[in-house]
Structure 1
Amino acid sequence: MTQLERASFGSKLGVILATAGSAVGLGNVWRFPYMAGEYGGAAFIVIYVGCVLLFGIPCMVSEFIIGRHAASNTARAYRSLAGGTPWAAIGYFGVFTGLLITSYYAVVAGWCLQYIAASLLGQLHGSPEFFAEYFATFEKDPFKPVFWTVAIFLITHYVIIHGVRGGIEKASKLLMPALFVLLLIVVVSACLLPGAFEGVKFLFKPDFSKVGGDVFLGALGQSFYSLSIGMGCLCTYASYFSRQTNLMKSAVQIGVLDTSVAILAGLMIFPAAFSVGINPDSGPSLVFITLPNVFQQAFASLPVVGYVVGFAFYALLALAAITSLISLHEVTTAFIHEEMHTTRKRAAWTVTILCSVIGAVCSLSLGKLDFLKIGDRSLFDFFDFITGQVMLPVGGFFTCLFVGWYLPHKMVRDEFSNWGTLRGKLFHTYLFCIKFVCPICILMIFLHQFGWI
């Protein structure tokens, strides 16, 4: 399949919104705020933004170069550029990583749908203990989490089977603006609460006396996960880019959008948390246990507003999850469609059914099938650990080495500058980052995860 025959995005806006949708997900709206809370707020954000600029954007451009040049699914892209060498394994590794993440990520996305339904039915009210018990009971339920996991896959499947322009691009143009509107509604509501300014100050007034090695490495890791580097999404989407797409400009725009969503998520959560005296370092439980209580307390005098804001928040989470799931699903769908020479619909159904089964088992491993453990981790927690803390850093590390040290510099330069039609004045800076800075940083993340540094 040549680049002319291959499907492509129909507009520059479609490129930006679809690829930003891949990057913007639960990592921005869920993981970023609790990490910022744990690592001291503003100082963490300053370091995080630096990591996105120096580390995330060069890695993103590298995946764009591979995807657009090969104009094929992630596995074939690396294989065609590797020339029969073991470097081809990086592509297959990325597809497998994307498949595993798709399966368990949908479980958390399904939780968001449950909380939307609970918000609409007025079930999210009670004591802090009530919210903890509500989540624990739901998580271990043998039916509800599996139902919502399958539901989120069917929504994603509907988008995927309509192709690149009619499905992915069209959905991104609808979902991403809706995501921003909902985000702004909750941000404004939170910032108008009494005492909210303390939360704003926590987010924007840095205290660098608290900065240590953990803060830097935490920010580095978050930038990596937030931008979807190393899981095949960016490479797959880049295969649909036209030859006129400015890769560096697109990467910067996506990085800005992604970071903006993360910071807005902080503005949404911390002012509300400070307003009711909730500790900002509540950790991963912040979204599903702490925040319902925050919304209830913060808008106690205006219950209707609390109802609307709570619903908008979980709708926002679901939209963020779906935009990322679309890109994750597409990685494996494109692989099966092109490598197994089957129709796009059949490939999409294969991924949907396979991931639904794996996702259901992951969900049940938190309840009825809690004996499904690997080491001391449930199957769900193991998938989260092995992909996020092992497979993504490994894939990103070898992608940097592949582009920086194996691919011909002329080919990389041609893609970077759109075959000389763009000024490539940042090329040498980019190449230095991808050859030295990025591999070293990713290696540091990997070693830090295991306590080796």
Structure 2
Amino acid sequence: MDARQTWSSQLTYILAVAGATVGFGATWRFPYLVGQNGGGAYVLTFCIAMIVIGIPMILVENAIGRRLHINSVDAFGGMANGKKINKAWKIVGWMGLCGAFGIMAYYMVIGGWVLNYIYNIIFGNLNLTSVVSADLTASFYDKSIINAPFAISIATLVFVIINFVILVRGAVAGIEKAAKYLMPILFLLMIGMVIRNLTLDGALEGIKFYLTPDFSKISAKLFIDVLGQVFFALSLGFGVMITLSSFVRKDENLVKTSVITGVLNTLIAVVAGFMIFPSLFTFGVAPDSGPSLVFKSLPIVFSHMFAGEFLAVAFFSLLMIAALTTSLPIYEVLITVLEEKFKIKRLKAIFITLGGIFILGNIPSLMATNLLSDVTVFGKNIFDAYDAISATIFFVLTSLLCAIFVGWVLGDEAKKEILFGSNGAHKIINIWFFYIKYIIPFLILVVFVSSFYDNFIK
């Protein structure tokens, strides 16, 4: 394939994609949404949604990305079925970039929170050697996260610099190396945490809450939360899958990699719940604490455990690794566009991307609860607004338009693209294509209208 780099093997590509999709979505966002939505009902609905919407949409973005081996904006150009594709379709790529910017604006700040917790636990500012109360962890969270703009600025900058050092190695080389070493460490840490939690005295209660569906909890909000989480968890709608698959060779089996990615992501998200819920119920901590669940509630849990400080540092290190394997590919979406579309040298493109997001996104987000607390967008602070606008508008609309682009513009070209390396899958691809063309757009539109109403109108 042209002068572009390619993944060294299918395994490294799968690890890179797994890394991109197993970030805070699985380790931070999924557990607190499970807690807020009553446990097992949410988990069951999430697993079904991954199969019904997640995996088919991974294949959509893989087909778009690999077709021209180009950045996530120009991927919506070229020819299809003998006709030149209307330039207006590149707007979909630009929308994906807006979503990528929006998520990174606050995502890196959460990385700063995690680094701040690791620092404070190691240096004894958050002492977990004796049992701590909910009041103490809430007070620490307010003091060290919500009202500590300078400390979080430094921590976020450190996290950005770690990303910079890896990204300088190249689009494939940096991400591939990081995924190759970090993903096995992530899996080992997760397994260790799960084994520790499952051996606790009250673990069974937590497992029951987590896995037993209470069908009375199923509601319109639960469906909106689940489908939003599927897009978030699989990095759909902000150019990540399109960019990563643009480095995939033509002989790779896209059907196989899409299924493996969806299954692996679902598995890791579900395993993440076993790291958290058994211990919450053992020590009587409320599972519905919301986004601050891992920061306010889990330190209480670790303070009850033998070697609690070590386990807390291990857990937050796991979060850090998960965040890093996701932030690298999202940055790469923007960097690749600057390199290929605007012919900017890679080092300069990295500086522009990381620096621009830090100044325009990270700094306002980390000041949203303190120095800029009076500034609101659609009634939300800056941090929450970046989350709501990127997840509710850009992710979902971009995914909707990707499905329409594949079904109605690329048509047979999309089927041909997927057949490269997947020759034995004619029937599956025909079923997938019909589903993408007629059913998925309707499902996504329903989610978009419902979530838009819930976030911005109600």
Question: Do residues 316 (structure 1) and 322 (structure 2) align?
Answer: no
Q: How far apart are residue 338 of structure 1 and its match?
A: 0.8
d(CA) in 2 for partners of 1:327 and 1:87? 23
Aligned to 1:371: 374
Larger mean Cα displacement after TM superposition, 365-374 or 42-51: 365-374
C-alpha contact 2:186 2:322 (8 A) present in aligned 1: yes
Aligned to 1:393: 396
Q: How far apart are residue 95 of structure 1 and its match?
A: 1.5
User: For each residue in 1:44-95, what CA deviation from the matched residue of structure 2 results, as whole angstroms up to 9, or x when unmatched?
Assistant: 2122111111101111111110110011110111133572342221011111
Aligned to 1:285: 292
Question: Do residues 161 (structure 1) and 168 (structure 2) align?
Answer: yes
Aligned to 2:6: 8
Question: Do residues 45 (structure 1) and 43 (structure 2) align?
Answer: yes
The 3 A distance-change label for structure 1 pair 330 and 248 is same
SS in 2 for 1:245: coil
Normalised to the residue count of structure 1, the TM-score between the two structures is 0.94
The 3 A distance-change label for structure 1 pair 342 and 261 is same
Superposition map of 1:394-413 within 5 A:
394-409=397-412, 411-413=413-415
Aligned to 2:186: 179
Aligned to 1:127: 133
Identity %: 33
Q: How far apart are residue 119 of structure 1 and its match?
A: 2.1
User: For each residue in 1:280-326, what CA deviation from the matched residue of structure 2 results, as whole angstroms up to 9, or x when unmatched?
Assistant: 222112111111112213x1xx2x2x112111110011111111100
Unpaired runs of 5+ residues, structure 1, are none
- Once superposed, what is the RMSD of the aligned Cα atoms? 1.7
C-alpha contact 1:55 1:437 (8 A) present in aligned 2: no
Superposition map of 1:245-394 within 5 A:
245-297=252-304, 299=305, 302=306, 304=307, 306-358=308-360, 359-394=362-397
Aligned to 1:437: 439
d(CA) in 1 for partners of 2:218 and 2:343? 52
Q: How far apart are residue 181 of structure 1 and its match?
A: 0.9
Normalised to the residue count of structure 2, the TM-score between the two structures is 0.93
Question: Do residues 99 (structure 1) and 139 (structure 2) align?
Answer: no
SS in 2 for 1:415: helix
Q: How far apart are residue 419 of structure 1 and its match?
A: 6.6
C-alpha contact 1:9 1:164 (8 A) present in aligned 2: no
Aligned to 1:151: 158
Q: How far apart are residue 129 of structure 1 and its match?
A: 1.1
Larger mean Cα displacement after TM superposition, 200-209 or 391-400: 200-209
Unpaired runs of 5+ residues, structure 2, are none
C-alpha contact 2:26 2:268 (8 A) present in aligned 1: yes
The 3 A distance-change label for structure 1 pair 140 and 420 is closer
